[in-house]
Chain A
Amino acid sequence: MPNPVFRSAVTGVRAQQLALDVIANNLANVSTTGYKARRVEFRDLLYQRLRAGRVPDPTAPVSPAEIGGGARADVISRLFSQGALRESGRVLDLAIAGDGFFQVRTAAGQIAYTRDGSLQIDATGRLTAAAGALIDPPVTLPEDLTTLRIDERGTIYGTRASAEGELTLGQLQLARFTNPGGLNAIGENLFVPTDNSGAPQTGVPGENGLGKLVSGFLEAANVDLGAELTAMIQAQRAYQLNLKAVQTIDEMTAQALQLRR
């Protein structure tokens, strides 16, 4: 169908479809630890200025119509606002209160970043984060631990059956980005940096603008259920409305085709 109006009407339907997809994904992750909600932003497309017709009266007001090409859902930004801290009671559950990410190395050797601090100890005593990715730089805990605690600066303390007193066992680091919205999500709660996010700046928790660690807590998703449901209703209605526009233009085109019966 060569009718450009038809095409521009469909852009609106497509944009709202993307909005619904993003909302559905936010709702599906409402209880995912450290999940950050995403948002669709709409942009209008290019305009074509209609040539004003020749009018006998040159003083007549001229305000030429501009015909738009529709809309598109352009940017999906992540809102990196703090999620609520939920108590879990596990020492190795770490929530980041403030800015920053845990730096991990995935099984494939890729450096990635996550706010999901439900750490585990693997078979060889190394600390792992989401999806079994190793904490980077690596931290290895001895086997005969009797107690373990992690302070807000990320220092890991523990007592061993084989040694007297509390020992310092390791130090956790955090990384932050100038533009965390530019990070690319690769699934499993992991992000990788892009040209848009800037390079990671690593440091000790609580210093240089990095958040503090809270042991025994996990960060809940920052999805606002009420806001998402409202956005879903709005997107559904907008979707319907855009479809109605497509349908109307279709009917008009059918009439043009009936001109010669």
Chain B
Amino acid sequence: MLRGLYTSASGMLAQMARQAIVTNNINNATTSGFKQELTSQGLFWQMLLDRVQRADRPAADTAAAIPIGPAITTAGALRATTDHTQGGLTDTGGELDLALTGPGFFAVQTPTGVQLTRDGSFARDAQGRLVAADGALVLGVGGPLTLPDGPVAIAADGTITVGDQAVGQLQLLEAPPEQLTRAGQNRFALLAGAAPVPATNAAVNQGFLERSNVDITRAVTDMMSAARAYEANQRLIQLQDELLGKAVNEVGRVG
């Protein structure tokens, strides 16, 4: 009975976490280059429960935890994957608005290293360098790109021409989803050991931005289902509480 309480409580936590992910998708339904995060449900893993750590052992010492045994919980078992499918293109007409079609990312230089993005709303900074909205340098094949004044033409392979002058080529990279982690600012950071390779099937579209690939219908249904599952778990806790109350107070009562 008590384990059932824990299972239901962990169900509530898992549904709240799921709701957080769905909400983030909804928040970013209009964010350029955003890729929705899909949660998986239905797989409830058997988790190992550990007894509270012994006070005389350091917290990081996993051997110090004494296992209690398996229990069915769902909170730690919430899984999510990023849906990297193509978003639709919006015609913005901006000279430095770039959208990618096909798998791949633009590479930008940030203080914490190279990050990847599908949000190609770039600009020139005061020095004429090609930058993302927060001023991070957009990388070309040989490093940051500086654009002289003049009309910019960008070919599908990322080759940049200003007037008649070839300026460089955008660095387009590809990395498997499990090597990426979300970094905010519409970017993905590379996890340790990640080895991005040049993207071979990505094409640059000048004057377009890639829309968020959030599926609104799915997001709303997921939101409803998470809320209802949360409610169901809450009812189960109340029910078990009542049953426990009966067991404690009424079993064995005479008269």
Contacts and interface: CB of A to CB of B under 8 A. Distances in A.
| A and B: bona fide binding partners | yes
Contacts of A65: 17, 21, 37, 39, 78-80
Given A44-B182, A56-B70, A197-B126, A68 B223 contact: no
B31 interface: yes
Interface in B67-113: 70, 73, 75-81, 92-94
B75 A182 contact: no
A137 to B, nearest CB: 23
Interface stretch (B127-135, B137-145, B152-160, B195-203): B127-135
A61 to B, nearest CB: 8
A77 B185 contact: no
Interface string A156-189: 0000000000000000000010110110000000
A83 interface: no
B78 A196 contact: no
**Chain A: interface size category:** 35 or more
A45 interface: yes
Interface string A32-68: 0000000101111111011111111000111111111
Contacts of B121: 41, 75, 77
A178 B128 contact: yes
Contact of B186 (A39, A44, A54): A44
Given A42-B32, A51-B76, A15 B27 contact: yes
Contact of B234 (A56, A75, A255): A255
The A interface, classified by DSSP as helix, strand, loop or mixed, is mixed
Interface string B213-255: 0001001100110010011001001100000000000000000
A31 interface: no
Contacts of A75: 121, 133-134
A242 interface: yes
Contacts of B15: 252
Interface stretch (B42-50, B53-61, B165-173): B42-50
B116 interface: no
Nearest to A235: B30
B164 interface: no
B32 to A, nearest CB: 7
Interface of B: 12, 15-17, 19-24, 26-32, 34, 37, 39, 45-48, 50, 70, 73, 75-81, 92-94, 121, 123-128, 133-134, 149-150, 178, 181-186, 216, 219-220, 223-224, 227, 230-231, 234, 237-238
Interface of A: 4-5, 8-9, 11-12, 15-16, 19, 39, 41-47, 49-56, 60-71, 74-75, 77, 79, 81, 176, 178-179, 181-182, 195-199, 209, 234-235, 238, 241-242, 244-245, 248-249, 251-252, 255-256, 258-259, 261
23 contacts: A41-B121, A41-B133, A42-B32, A43-B185, A44-B31, A44-B184, A52-B76, A53-B73, A54-B50, A54-B76, A55-B46, A55-B76, A65-B39, A65-B79, A68-B24, A75-B134, A178-B124, A178-B128, A179-B128, A182-B123, A197-B126, A244-B26, A248-B227
